[in-house]
A and B are shown apart, each in its own frame.
Chain A
Amino acid sequence: MNTMTLDATGYSEPANPQTVEKKTVDSQTKVGETVGAPFCDNAKLKMRNVNVFYSETQAIHDVSLDIGRNEVVAMIGPSGCGKSTFLRCLNRMNDTIDGCRVEGDFTLDGDPIYGPKVDVVPLRARVGMVFQKPNPFPKSIYENVAYGPKIHGIASRRAELDEIVENSLRRAGLWNEVKDRLDKPGTGLSGGQQQRLCIARAIAVSPEVILMDEPCSALDPIATARIEELIDELRENYTIAIVTHSMQQAARVSQRTAYFHLGHLVEVNDTETVFTNPQHELTEAYITGRFG
């Protein structure tokens, strides 16, 4: 590499004293300890020594991470690196998967997330989730947003419910587009609108944390931009953890970025640092598109 031919201008490269040993970065490169700053001072969610197993295979290896209050943390990494698995641990969505075993300490504002005494229903009201594919219920737009408040008994009167629905839709930036057709099915909206409806549905129960699992992977760039804008606005009131395949998206929306590799948390740092000067060579290799 870096060999230059002599040219007419007379510039010649001086003899290279040391031969550069060609080193290939690949998935076999040793991972080691998490580099960067996995912990923060005003942590909303604290995860310590998390291990996740699917039957016999280990999907997550000893991951420790904090997610700070009113912070957007992006989780990136190649497919199958465990980022979605890790995200789904945070509101125990993995409970439903047969043979999935989760170890480690998870706390939300100091309250344990796992444990024999923890009821998953109120937990999921505190930690909402938005999925990869927009999945509104095949019911009306109103019913979609009102569902959470109804099952949790948040609103007793119709007027209260109306208000929650309107506020949630407003905060999701969807109110003006759907206010005249609240009784129309949510599945009739466009993909981007459906995803914003799902976000409205999630925030209708006033969660503290919103988990987003590749929320824009099924959307076009314009819908994606609107969701990203929305995420930025939501940060004021919520703590957000987002899994994304788009590194540009992670760079745009998050304050901190966590890079996962084969179930290991390789690096956590300020998003700026990760995208201009990552400290681990695996992170560097991934974000610059060098994986072979």
Chain B
Amino acid sequence: MTDLTQAQVRERIEQNLAGRHRKEKLFRGLGIASIAFGVFAVLLLFTDIISKGSGAFVQTAVQLEVTYDPAVLGIEEVNEESLTWANFTGVIRQSLRERFPGVSGRSEKRELYSLVSTGAPFTLRDRLQANPALLGQTEKVWFAADDDVDTFLKSLDDSAEGFRGRTSDEMAAWVQTLWDSGELKKRFNTTFFTNGDSREPEQAGIRAALVGSLLTLLVTLALSFPIGVAAAIYLEEYAPKNRWTDLIEVNINNLAAVPSIVFGLLGLAIFINFFELPRSAPLVGGLVLTLMTLPTIIISSRAALKSVPPSIREAAMGMGASRMQVVLHHVLPLAMPGMLTGAIIGMAQALGETAPLLMIGMVAFIVDVPAGITDPATVLPVQIFLWADSPERAFVERTSAAIMVLLSFLIVMNTSAVLLRKKLERRW
């Protein structure tokens, strides 16, 4: 190689400089573009879901003047027994007939009766049960409107014509009348948060699924965190580095990549068929999700343990601390933020998991809120899956609303993971 003078060298550097700057800019631009794409996708998802789902938090209600007429109800007094067979439906129908006296004919009447939700009689029963003195009295009560009415009314906001679907012209006229007289209103949909699933969209809620999810996650956390952390500590601090531990490590990494449906099949075969645990229960769901989240927790816990500087271990060991003391007094406190983050991310993963739960029967139609981990239950993502499959148009917005609830839980969990890490993280 020939020797270059300093001037020549500088000249060559100058020549290359422009190209280097260009490449630098391009490189940075690519990064920005990628981020922009990601943000765009997230925004798209959120706008879509929020625009579709926000309607579900509002529910149309109809005001009717009902008379608790003992004759119509077919009871003389209010007690446990009489309430069960009292004809509240008749009361409501009578009230509807009185409101729209011109309606005649079977099909027209049926149409009229379908203005209010099929759950309306239960509303009446609850009121009477709470206040038996109402028997024979007349009062104005707000009932949930039928989902077709709800859908139609909400669609009027978007276009003058509105979405008719199953709504007939007569029905549309009644709705208009009621709306004009203030006997129809849109109110906050508490049902969505207090009820379990239902075939009727206006009665369907996410409470059962939410509680099911929480119970399942509790089981998962209670099992996978201690097991995962213990396994990680053994592998990282105690196990000799040999072929066996290498094999275990490879297997753990493999496990993390196994499709979740396989865990569902495993759960079905082992927990339900072999151990005969109750089907559809959060206990089994939690066990299956534990299997699924374990690799995540083990891997992140090991990474957290690895990141603890060896000088701390040496210092403690040099003081004569036993292995366990080294781990419990020094390593674990320093690794805990990382472990917790891993656990929360694993939990978030478990919260969003659907496939394995389908296999163990958590896809069943569950109306009641589960009271314990052995009750039949469903979980949020499965509920979303179920609703997405339902034909009623009102379920579309409920699906999106459930997704919003799920997403907000995920956001809360992931945010808390970040905050926890920031708070607990210690510099050394």
A and B touching (Cβ–Cβ under 8 A): yes
Complexed CA–CA distance, A70 and B110 (Å): 106
Residue B316 at the chain A interface, CB threshold 8 Å? yes
Q: Name 23 interchain pairs, CB-CB below 8 A, sorted by A.
A: A93-B314, A93-B317, A96-B317, A98-B241, A120-B320, A121-B320, A121-B321, A121-B322, A123-B320, A124-B317, A124-B318, A125-B320, A128-B318, A128-B319, A131-B311, A135-B314, A136-B315, A137-B315, A138-B428, A147-B319, A147-B329, A151-B322, A201-B315
Decide: A148 and B314 in contact? CB cutoff 8 A: no
Provided the pairs A151-B325, A187-B427 are in contact, do residues A198 and B320 lie with their beta carbons within 8 angstroms? no
Residue A241 at the chain B interface, CB threshold 8 Å? no
Provided the pairs A138-B312, A138-B426, A151-B325 are in contact, do residues A131 and B334 lie with their beta carbons within 8 angstroms? no
CB distance from A239 to the nearest CB of B (A): 16
Provided the pairs A151-B321, A151-B325 are in contact, do residues A131 and B314 lie with their beta carbons within 8 angstroms? yes
Complexed CA–CA distance, A128 and B321 (Å): 12
Q: Of B240, B241, B312, B320, which contacts A137 at CB under 8 A? A: B312
Task: Enumerate chain A residues within 8 angstroms of B154, measured Cβ to Cβ.
Answer: none
B-contact bits for A131-147, CB 8 A (1 contact / 0 none): 10101111000000001
CB distance from A291 to the nearest CB of B (A): 29
A-contact bits for B287-321, CB 8 A (1 contact / 0 none): 00000000000000000000001011111111111
Nearest B residue (CB) for A122: B320
- Extra 12 A-B pairs, beta carbons < 8 Å, given A124-B319, A129-B314, A138-B428: A93-B317, A120-B320, A122-B320, A124-B318, A124-B320, A128-B319, A129-B318, A147-B319, A151-B322, A201-B315, A202-B318, A205-B320
Q: Of A120, A123, A187, A205, which contacts B428 at CB under 8 A? A: A187
Complexed CA–CA distance, A137 and B325 (Å): 13
Complexed CA–CA distance, A75 and B86 (Å): 99
Complexed CA–CA distance, A93 and B427 (Å): 25
CB distance from B95 to the nearest CB of A (A): 72
Which 5 residue pairs across A and B have the least CB separation, nearest first? A124-B320, A129-B318, A135-B311, A135-B315, A125-B320
CB distance from B323 to the nearest CB of A (A): 9
Decide: A148 and B319 in contact? CB cutoff 8 A: yes
Q: Of B316, B320, B329, B428, which contacts A152 at CB under 8 A? A: B320
Complexed CA–CA distance, A133 and B315 (Å): 10
Contact count band on A: 20 to 34
CB distance from A108 to the nearest CB of B (A): 14
Provided the pairs A138-B428, A187-B428 are in contact, do residues A148 and B311 lie with their beta carbons within 8 angstroms? no
Q: Of A96, A133, A187, A205, which contacts B319 at CB under 8 A? A: A205
CB distance from B358 to the nearest CB of A (A): 45
Q: Which secondary structure characterizes the binding site on chain A?
A: helix
In residues 37-79 of chain B, which contact A (Cβ within 8 Å)?
none
Residue A84 at the chain B interface, CB threshold 8 Å? no
CB distance from A149 to the nearest CB of B (A): 10
Task: Give the one of B241, B318, B427 with max A CB within 10 A.
Answer: B318
Complexed CA–CA distance, A158 and B147 (Å): 71
Nearest B residue (CB) for A149: B319
Residue A91 at the chain B interface, CB threshold 8 Å? yes
Complexed CA–CA distance, A198 and B316 (Å): 11
B-contact bits for A93-124, CB 8 A (1 contact / 0 none): 10010100000000000000000000011111
Complexed CA–CA distance, A202 and B319 (Å): 7
A-B CB contacts (within 8 Å), total count: 66
Task: Enumerate chain A residues within 8 angstroms of B325, measured Cβ to Cβ.
Answer: 151
Complexed CA–CA distance, A205 and B312 (Å): 18
Complexed CA–CA distance, A138 and B330 (Å): 8
CB distance from A187 to the nearest CB of B (A): 5
Complexed CA–CA distance, A164 and B194 (Å): 62
Task: Enumerate chain B residues within 8 angstroms of A129, measured Cβ to Cβ.
Answer: 314, 318
Complexed CA–CA distance, A122 and B321 (Å): 9
Task: Give the one of B241, B315, B426, B427 with max A CB within 10 A.
Answer: B315
CB distance from A25 to the nearest CB of B (A): 35
Complexed CA–CA distance, A136 and B427 (Å): 12
Complexed CA–CA distance, A68 and B309 (Å): 34
Complexed CA–CA distance, A152 and B321 (Å): 8
Nearest B residue (CB) for A204: B319
Task: Enumerate chain A residues within 8 angstroms of B321, measured Cβ to Cβ.
Answer: 121, 147, 151
CB distance from B195 to the nearest CB of A (A): 50
Complexed CA–CA distance, A98 and B239 (Å): 10
Task: Enumerate chain B residues within 8 angstroms of A91, measured Cβ to Cβ.
Answer: 318
Complexed CA–CA distance, A50 and B86 (Å): 97
CB distance from A242 to the nearest CB of B (A): 15
CB distance from A206 to the nearest CB of B (A): 12
Decide: B334 and A138 in contact? CB cutoff 8 A: yes
Nearest A residue (CB) for B242: A98
Decide: A131 and B322 in contact? CB cutoff 8 A: no
Decide: A151 and B319 in contact? CB cutoff 8 A: yes
CB distance from B233 to the nearest CB of A (A): 15
CB distance from B78 to the nearest CB of A (A): 68
Complexed CA–CA distance, A98 and B320 (Å): 19
Q: Of B313, B320, B334, B426, which contacts A148 at CB under 8 A? A: B320
Nearest A residue (CB) for B334: A138
CB distance from B140 to the nearest CB of A (A): 67
Complexed CA–CA distance, A152 and B322 (Å): 10
In residues 37-75 of chain A, which contact B (Cβ within 8 Å)?
none
CB distance from A212 to the nearest CB of B (A): 11
Complexed CA–CA distance, A131 and B309 (Å): 13
Complexed CA–CA distance, A198 and B319 (Å): 10
CB distance from B325 to the nearest CB of A (A): 6
Complexed CA–CA distance, A144 and B422 (Å): 24
Complexed CA–CA distance, A4 and B312 (Å): 59
Task: Enumerate chain A residues within 8 angstroms of B315, measured Cβ to Cβ.
Answer: 131, 135-137, 198, 201
Decide: B319 and A201 in contact? CB cutoff 8 A: yes
Complexed CA–CA distance, A138 and B334 (Å): 9
